[in-house]
Structure 1
Amino acid sequence: MLLFAVTSCKKELVRINKNPNEVENPQPDYLLGAAEKNGADVYWGQSSNFASSELITQQWAMIQYTDPDRYIFNGNSFSTLWTTIYSSTLTDIKVMMELGEKQDNNNYVGVGHVLRAWNFQLLTDAFGNVPYSQAGQIEQSSVAIYDPQKDVYAGLLKELDTALTDLDPAGTPIEGDLIYNNDISNWRRFANSLKLRIALRIADADPALAKTTVQEVLTGKELISSNDQTAAFIYGASPNWNPVAANFSTRNDYRISKTIVDKLYALNDPRLPVYASLPENPEITKYVGVPNGLTTSDANSLGLANTSKPGSYFLADNAPAVIESYSEVLFLRSEAAARGLSSEDAPSLYKQAITASLNQYGITDATQITAYLNQPGVKYDAQNYKKSIGVQKWIALFGQGLEAFAEWRRLDYPVLTAAVSGKYGKDIPVRFIYPSTEQTLNRKAYKAAVAAQGTDDLFTKLWFDKY
């Protein structure tokens, strides 16, 4: 009788807790599109992008409510990246992959592995040690250990290899793909390009694995090889619009940073009119960036109409959320060659990378591009490749705050000066702090991670960030 009562209670709970709006038979194509959009939203959204990483890397700045620009963060500041990926994006990916297996469609499985690798890369780049090997195994346990960052990157490389085994352009087609429009060949290029990104991410910390991975990737040359093959989520009109456009539709808190405006002016960079808007005050005919980390009163005194918002390209409803660009892949190949990880031509690839970035924003005039490349401040410096690549990559990654943040820490260029009224003096954050919910919901694993990695603050350097 007791067993019958318990069973009946379970059935009743299932009935009561059933969501009447939930799809009875989810389809992999809908889950794929949802996972892609959730990932793009959090990558280009406020919490992890223009209210944090883009401020730290001084691509954007704040003109109102400037605490984040002064590095005043707390345990909730970065929670959106963590909770969205773990509770939503990875769940959709997991179910999509399971349905793909049931339908004997390995291409859904392969795409799922690529998306998992990208999402976990975002997490570990930002936080360091994160749940990976046990993540999403709610059937076994409601908590998960934090894997060392070294193991996470190694696991992601293996997962991308698995993806490449599954992805077959001649196999069963997929549907619902809002990144590559169901083109499996491009997903293979993206998978290899992600491997190249991770290889260079770990190049200072694990040069042997980095070299092996670079040589594997370059052997097949199955990489993103044109701007048309860039991995990007293309938005539409409201409500499915770019998070930047959504924010600026109701708020007026952000401006382009003075740091990048000054650099673009110094280099006579043709991307300046793309990256920045002229101030609304018609009497001001130059782009005016805002210094990072002003107090709210000092920022307000500059005047909302007298400072530059990001360019209209980035404020458009349908602006793409770039995930990995052709320009980035060329920069990675250039750096790999400079490090001796490949036999390619580093200076040539560096020029190609800059050209690809200019082309990405509609700058195609050959004379203009040549003039830009021949400037002393742009020319490749073989004696300090990290400076050349670091500065130009920082410019090219405008808008991709999380990626710019990771590369700035790894390459140590451009040299940035801390926020004007930063909370920590001359120090600039080098990681995100874990969400406060981890201390209560996964306390044992959280404490073990902090003991292994270091204090859970903004200034504990991560494993990949050696110098």
Structure 2
Amino acid sequence: MKINITHISSLFLLLGLTASCKDELAKINKNQNEAETPQPAYLLTSTIKTTTDSYWGVSNNLASSLLFVQHWARVQYTDPDRYIFTNNDFNEGWSTWYSKSISQLKLIQKLVANPENNNYKGVSLVLQSWIFSLLTDAYGDIPYTETGDINNFLTPRYETQESVYRGILNDLKNAQSLLKADGEAIQGDIIYGGNIINWKQFANSLRLRFALRIADRLPDLAKTTLQEVAAEGSGYIKSNDEIAQLIYQDAPNRNPVSSSFEAREDYRVSKTMVDKLVTLRDPRLEIYADTTLKKTSEKYIGLPNGLTSSEASSIGFDLTSRPGIYFRQPKAPAVILSYSEVLFGLSEAVSRGFITGDAADLYQKAIRASLEQYKISNTLIDAYLRQPSVRFDPNNYKKSIGEQKWIALYGQGLEAFAEWRRLDYPQLTPAKAGALGGKIPTRFLYPGTEQSLNGANYQEAIKHQGSNSLLTKLWFDKE
């Protein structure tokens, strides 16, 4: 008995020491600069910054969608400009937007449920809807309702693009009802500084964007959505001062385009864009492009898309135009949704008979808003709009709006890519040495990790949508 008591006493002493050591280790390993309970304001700031960095960054913008729509071209390491990719090349957006952006927004919604702050919840739903649209427009069918809840849905099922769009339109409608200008204040908003009226207008502007995205498939829902926006009464983004954008700061919080050019010189303005702006005598040319490093009679020279590395090298850096300094500076704004886009959208909505108005006037106002966004003078704007080549054609509104919207969306690769597929204008010539048999990609590839980590649901998506190919057309992209 004496021996047993001794052993038992020793055991309790050991357990006590172990517990004490664990407590000490926990104290030592605690990050003194990290909040134990996440705060909605910090999560909101983090989500906006993380998502926008990815939206304007290399993988989803510079090295893919900006090349597909021929805003930019590659002057070295040209495989992406020739549509040569692996499924690992498209992992960054998928990973970031699901594991960070959507997860943090869902957490905000949980944190503000008690005590309830509907403005935080409304703002998070607006951002969540935008992010899901980025995912579905890039990949097609995606995990949607089962995301952000890893405890219950470790392998979330994919849902059709139609279901996703119906869902995010409903979420935006709910967000609009939650957002109250006289409600509780929010912090951490680095887009609108907590101005809830701006968020309500941004929500409606996204509803306009998404209504038009599905207009060729679900015209009745598109029309109903715009009628609901009109009845709600908050309106849309109504000036360049209300653009939804993140204005960057100096390093380390600089624009990701600036970061890319600081390290290397992979990109030039596409010849397609430069030639179009020259033909139209468009004053945005000197904003969108730099003059060539070596003086040339043309001043601005674009690089053809899809050259081999040796072909691009033979043309060289000095005789082609870099993207303009406006886009390469550390504090360059990353636009999410512009006033110009809203006006183009309203012009199209009138042209489709969804709303009443003057489509030609809205179209001209959209172009004016784009030029004013870059501080171009009224004299130059008026001269530009008087040109027959810029005039609105009501019999082919998709061409008029598609070509001018393509110019106005310069730098917003993913949005320009979605609108080019939807409107089918401008009519682009595929990459010179492209790897897709004379065709331009119409989607991103699902990441390779989905095949191994969510294989059954991935296979169901492939069965429904089509092969995991760059050329598989998405649901909204109707002929």
Among candidates 332, 335, 350, match of residue 319 of structure 1: 332
Kept in 2, the 8 Å contact 1:192–1:223? The answer is yes
Matched ranges for 1:151-230 at <5 A: 151-219=163-231, 220=233, 222-230=235-243
In the TM superposition, what is the alpha-carbon distance from 1:309 to its structure 2 partner? Answer: 0.6
Query: Is 2:347 the partner of 1:337?
Result: no
Distance 2:153 2:437 in 1: 42
TM-score by length of 1: 0.95
Deviations 1:79-129 (A, max 9, x none): 111000001111221222222223321111110000100000000011110
Deviations 1:206-233 (A, max 9, x none): 1111111122223425110001111001
Indicate the SS of the match to 2:87.
Answer: coil
* 1:98 counterpart letter in structure 2: K
Structure 1 stretch displaced more, 90-99 or 400-409: 90-99
Distance 1:46 1:405 in 2: 15
Unaligned runs of 5+ in 1: none
* 1:242 counterpart letter in structure 2: N
Indicate the SS of the match to 2:335.
Answer: strand
Indicate the SS of the match to 1:305.
Answer: coil
Aligned to 1:295: 308
Aligned to 1:369: 381
Distance 1:238 1:376 in 2: 45
Deviations 1:343-394 (A, max 9, x none): 11111100000000000010132x3212211212110001100000000000
Deviations 1:390-437 (A, max 9, x none): 000000000000000000000000000000000112111101110000
In the TM superposition, what is the alpha-carbon distance from 1:162 to its structure 2 partner? Answer: 1.1
Matched ranges for 1:43-54 at <5 A: 43-54=55-66
Aligned to 2:247: 234
Aligned to 2:35: 23
Aligned to 2:157: 145
Q: Percent identical across equivalent pairs?
A: 54
Aligned to 1:84: 96
In the TM superposition, what is the alpha-carbon distance from 1:285 to its structure 2 partner? Answer: 5.4
Distance 1:210 1:178 in 2: 30
Among candidates 319, 326, 330, match of residue 306 of structure 1: 319
In the TM superposition, what is the alpha-carbon distance from 1:284 to its structure 2 partner? Answer: 5.6
Distance 2:349 2:29 in 1: 51
Query: Is 2:437 the partner of 1:421?
Result: no
Among candidates 77, 81, 95, match of residue 69 of structure 1: 81
Query: Is 2:127 the partner of 1:126?
Result: no
Structure 1 stretch displaced more, 315-324 or 211-220: 211-220
Distance 1:391 1:358 in 2: 15
Aligned to 1:430: 442
Deviations 1:152-199 (A, max 9, x none): 000001100111111111011001100011101000000011011000
Distance 2:347 2:366 in 1: 8
Aligned to 1:282: 295
CA RMSD for the aligned pairs? 1.8
Distance 2:165 2:304 in 1: 35
* 1:195 counterpart letter in structure 2: R
* 1:364 counterpart letter in structure 2: S
TM-score by length of 2: 0.93
Kept in 1, the 8 Å contact 2:200–2:234? The answer is no
For these two proteins, the number of residue pairs brought into alignment is: 456
Distance 1:256 1:160 in 2: 36
Structure 1 stretch displaced more, 268-277 or 103-112: 103-112
Classify 1:383/1:257 alpha carbon distance in 2 versus 1 (closer, same or farther; 3 Å).
same
Classify 1:455/1:19 alpha carbon distance in 2 versus 1 (closer, same or farther; 3 Å).
farther
Classify 1:234/1:265 alpha carbon distance in 2 versus 1 (closer, same or farther; 3 Å).
same
Kept in 2, the 8 Å contact 1:284–1:306? The answer is no
In the TM superposition, what is the alpha-carbon distance from 1:246 to its structure 2 partner? Answer: 0.2
Classify 1:158/1:116 alpha carbon distance in 2 versus 1 (closer, same or farther; 3 Å).
same
Indicate the SS of the match to 2:388.
Answer: coil
Among candidates 235, 244, 249, match of residue 257 of structure 2: 244
Among candidates 355, 358, 368, match of residue 355 of structure 1: 368
Query: Is 2:420 the partner of 1:408?
Result: yes
Distance 2:191 2:229 in 1: 22
Deviations 1:228-287 (A, max 9, x none): 111001110011000000000011000110000000000000000000011111356510
Kept in 2, the 8 Å contact 1:391–1:414? The answer is yes
* 2:40 counterpart letter in structure 1: P
Unaligned runs of 5+ in 2: 1-14
Distance 2:115 2:254 in 1: 32
Kept in 2, the 8 Å contact 1:390–1:408? The answer is yes
Distance 1:335 1:56 in 2: 24
Matched ranges for 1:103-118 at <5 A: 103-118=115-130
Classify 1:107/1:456 alpha carbon distance in 2 versus 1 (closer, same or farther; 3 Å).
same
Kept in 2, the 8 Å contact 1:100–1:107? The answer is no
* 1:435 counterpart letter in structure 2: P
Kept in 2, the 8 Å contact 1:62–1:69? The answer is yes
Query: Is 2:111 the partner of 1:95?
Result: no
In the TM superposition, what is the alpha-carbon distance from 1:340 to its structure 2 partner? Answer: 0.8
Distance 1:24 1:37 in 2: 21
Query: Is 2:258 the partner of 1:268?
Result: no
Indicate the SS of the match to 2:167.
Answer: helix
Larger radius of gyration: 2
Structure 1 stretch displaced more, 219-228 or 324-333: 219-228
Query: Is 2:407 the partner of 1:395?
Result: yes
Kept in 2, the 8 Å contact 1:244–1:314? The answer is yes
* 2:392 counterpart letter in structure 1: Y
Structure 1 stretch displaced more, 144-153 or 89-98: 89-98
Distance 1:284 1:310 in 2: 19
Distance 2:341 2:304 in 1: 27
Distance 1:425 1:33 in 2: 43
In the TM superposition, what is the alpha-carbon distance from 1:306 to its structure 2 partner? Answer: 1.4
Distance 1:378 1:76 in 2: 41
Indicate the SS of the match to 1:322.
Answer: strand
Kept in 2, the 8 Å contact 1:224–1:230? The answer is yes
